[in-house]
Structure 1
Amino acid sequence: MHYPSEYHLAAVMRILSFLKKAPSRGLIFIKLGHLDVKDYTNADWAGNITNRFSTSGYFTFIGSNLVTWVSKKHNEVA
């Protein structure tokens, strides 16, 4: 996730191509009786003593399934 390359993109494209050709397979979401959407965020303001850059991120669940996540180190000093 931090250093994606052409190899990673090729792997993702191969997986998506497979899923497109086999629609009966798809992605599996476990049904646990609820589809609540939960978002969590966090920020570490100038937590790195070496360079004082901040880090922030978030992730999202639908039910108990992780669907998105992001982590970013900011370019500005806090």
Structure 2
Amino acid sequence: MFEYQALHLHEAAALKVLRYIKGNPRCGLYYRASSSTTLTAFSDSDWAGCVDSRKSITGYCLFLGSSLISWHSKKQTKTSRSSCEAEYRVMAATVCEVQWLTYLLHDLQVEQTSLVSMFCDNQLAIHIAHNPNYHE
């Protein structure tokens, strides 16, 4: 019951933001000209977050310097057996998006001066990603 109320509050807040954006078409996202061209990725998952299907809700966002350039949130297509598996799935989706953005930035002649930093809050998923023996 508590999760449903929290979800309803978040939906209401998101609708409020969308109504504000629709009512103020001259407003937009601000991107600094002096920002760096370093890509940074953040990913997270809410294991079994959907109360009906018990599927995980995942999301990620990517920053170019200090500017948000890509974000995504959705319910996973498969049911994860653990929070680690849910986190690992969203990390894989984030890496796909990072790879696509890296190619796009290369085509736009935006030089990447450093490696992409990716952040995840699940230590076991991070250890699995670093150890190639665990990839099955």
Q: Normalising by the residue count of structure 1, what TM-score does the alignment of the two structures yield?
A: 0.52
Relative to total residues, which structure has the larger strand share, 1 or 2? Answer: 1
Query: Number of paired residues?
Result: 52
Alignment partner of 1:37 out of 24, 31, 39:
39
Hey, what does 1:58 align to over in structure 2? 60
Structure number with higher helix proportion:
2
- Cα pair 1:44 1:55 within 8 Å, conserved: yes
List alignment gaps of at least 5 residues for structure 1: 1-26
Cα shift at 1:76: 2.4
Segment of structure 1 superposing worse, 49-58 or 36-45: 49-58
Identity %: 33
Q: Quick check: 1:34–1:63 contact (8 Å CA) kept in 2?
A: yes
CA drift at 1:33: 4.8
Quote the Cα distance in structure 2 between the aligned partners of 1:49 and 1:33: 41
> Where in structure 2 are there 5+ consecutive unaligned residues?
1-28, 81-136
RMSD of the alignment, in Å?
Answer: 2.3
Structure 1 CA distance for aligned equivalents of residues 35 and 58 of structure 2: 32
Is the Cα contact below 8 Å between 1:44 and 1:54 reproduced in 2? yes
- Partners of 1:75 and 1:52 in 2: how far apart? 11
Name the TM-score, length of structure 2 as normaliser.
Answer: 0.32
Q: How far apart are residue 50 of structure 1 and its match?
A: 3.5
